[in-house]
Amino acid sequence: MRIVVFDIETTNWLADTGSSDPASLTIALVGIHDSETGYSSYIEQDLPKLWPIIERTDVLIGWNSDHFDIPLLNKYYPGDLTRIKSVDLMKEFQPFVGRRLKLDAVAEGTLKDKKLDGKGGQSIIWWRNGEVEKVREYCLKDVELTKKIFDYALEKKSIKYAELGSIREVKIDTSKWLIADTKPMTFSLGF
């Protein structure tokens, strides 16, 4: 089974677009971990190189990806990425916790690790300053954390999160995460 964990950094904020729709944003960079090839990243003009990987993917894994990343990436993709099975970890954990969790809170509790310094908005500033490598490093760290949380949850059937100076653990159901239920995509493969 081919699994792709991914994250997106943008060139702008929603306030810049006058919309609340993530698809109104512009992609700066997409970072991925492909279970077959490892870590890589793609700036906006390189996205056509990403499509064959995505099209051969059985499951897309992300954090807040169903709400944010997939709609935004779908704006660029010639087909429909919602046809690929998706596991949005934030959405998966929400019923067990009772609210949305930040990636940093789960990374700290589960992995004793954190996002790189700077908030998501910092990556926009770096991008605008031409600091592409900082954006790449920031994005790929988020991908790494998301992958490790996914792996931990699959193995332990639980996650931990930091809250008010303590660590809390919740059991979660991961039984359907790796059941592929979509057909291969072929929009950019020339079939």
d(CA 95, CA 74): 26
Q: What percent of the chain has pLDDT over 90?
A: 83
| Domain residue spans of the chain | 3-97+118-156
Structure tokens at 156: 């332990």
* pTM as predicted: 0.92
For residue range 71-94, list pLDDT tens digits in order: 999 999 999 999 999 999 999 999
3-97+118-156 has which fold?
Nucleotidyltransferase; domain 5 (3.30.420)
**What's the Cα-to-Cα distance from 124 to each of 115, 118, 133, 142, 186, rounded to whole Å?**
16, 11, 12, 15, 32
Sorting pLDDT into bands at 50, 70 and 90, what band is 96?
Answer: confident
For residue range 108-164, list pLDDT tens digits in order: 999 999 888 766 588 999 999 999 999 999 999 999 999 999 999 999 999 999 988
Terminal C-alpha separation, the chain: 22
- Predicted confidence at residue 185, as pLDDT, reads 63
What is the rounded average pLDDT of the residues 4-10?
A: 97
Strand ranges across the sheet with 59-62 = 38-43, 27-34, 3-10, 59-62, 85-88
Number of residues assigned to the chain = 191
